[in-house]
Amino acid sequence: MEHTSGVHGQARDADRRAILNSQLGENAWAFFLYPDILMDLQMIIEKGSPGGSEEGNWHNLGIAQVLMAYSMFVITDTWGRVPYSEAFLGSEDRYPVFDTQESIYTEMLSMLDDAIANFQKESTSSPGGEDFIYGGDLDAWTKAAYALKARYSNRLSKRSPAQSAADALTAAENAFSSNADNFTFDNYGPEGNYQNPWFKLELERGHHALSQTLYDILDGMNDLRQLLFIEVLGPNGRVEVCGLNNLEGTGRPDPIDVTQRILRCLVIRYIHTCHTRHMFVLLAPGLTLTLLMFRIRANHPHNAFPANDLAILTNSLD
């Protein structure tokens, strides 16, 4: 599903698939995720694990395990089957197996259990100010691990509906209790290299509108997160709240006046962020709201939000 629709420049070309080539996926895959982020985390995990050169550094090991689990969750959500079990062998295995999503979810949920246990141990070293997310607060990291377990246990709902719902609800009880617990990175500044990447994208290439597909899903489910995900631009009464179909703005024949529709649909866009605003590592507008939705979805997996649950969500936005 396309989350955004390009309305100008490279964003529009990408919607056209006019510049579709290997670089669209390989830039993140080949230059940042596997050789950089994941390899660094794997080295920390190997050194801190039993038998490693820094065995006993349990707290930093636990943090690396939480970050590895989160990273792999996002990667498999994005690409489906991806390397993990053989991903860090380097030249020993240049053709790693692509593991199934189910196996990755299962392995990462187990890794989160290990992280939670490691946070409870006496450690040879504990993080402090160098921890840009929680400042060394291990109770907060433990809650984050449980929040991830709640969110990603739910990914197995079609494999094991009852068990995945039970696991998600159990984990949610031990996760965040307020938005103050949110798993966020906020070490941003006004200089180019320190800006929030979403702010930087909007500043330099603000060429996205909300896709019609995502807007219809949010609107059809009465999903109140749309109040925080998007904002209306322009004077009230002169704009139309709508998404932009990914087939529009592409130069393809269409009976709709494309130019006018683009101008109208530009009014809905992902919320702007200032250069120092928090970037939520999990899901904006915060995990407290997200965890409420887990509980609702576990009880109403195929239906729109009931009215009483909508009232709960509305109150959580205040």
Q: What is the CATH number of the domain that holds 171?
A: 1.25.40.390
Considering the domain architecture, whether residues 97 and 201 belong to the same structural domain is answered as: no
**Which residue among 125, 158, 185 closes a domain?**
185
Distance of CA 80 to the CA centre of its chain: 15
Please report, in angstroms and rounded to a whole number, the separation of the first and last CA atoms in the chain: 30
pLDDT, tens digit only, all 318 positions of the chain: 567 777 777 777 777 766 655 555 666 777 788 888 999 999 999 999 999 999 999 999 999 999 999 999 999 998 899 999 999 998 888 899 999 999 999 999 999 999 999 999 999 999 999 999 999 999 999 999 999 999 999 899 888 889 999 999 999 999 998 888 888 887 877 777 778 776 776 677 667 677 778 878 888 888 877 766 665 555 444 445 566 676 554 444 343 444 444 444 443 444 434 444 433 333 333 344 455 555 555 555 544 444 444 444 334 333
Q: Verify that 289 and 229 share a domain, yes or no.
A: yes
Whether 33 and 157 map to the same domain: the answer is: yes
Q: Is residue 202 part of a domain?
A: yes
Q: 227 with 175, same domain?
A: no
Domain boundary among 185, 201, 235: 185
Q: What is the number of structural domains in the chain?
A: 2
Q: Which of 185, 200, 217 is the last residue of a domain?
A: 185
The answer on 211 and 173 residing in a single domain is no
Angle at 172 between CA 168 and CA 174, to 5 degrees: 130
Q: Which two tokens stand for residue 166?
A: 């039970």
- Token pair listed for 269: 């866009």
What residue spans of 122-279 are helical by DSSP H?
Answer: 138-153, 161-173, 197-205, 212-220, 226-229, 258-265
Residue 170 structural domain: 20-185
> What does the alpha-carbon distance between residue 151 and residue 160 come to, in Å, rounded to a whole number?
15
Q: Which tokens sit at 221?
A: 């489910």
To the question of pTM greater than 0.75 for the whole model, the response is no
State whether 220 and 159 are in the same domain. no
In a domain, 260, yes or no: yes
Whether 311 is in a domain gets the answer yes
Instruction: Tokens 């996760």: give the residue.
Output: 175
For 161, other C-beta atoms within 10 Å of its C-beta total 12
Residue 12 domain-assigned? no
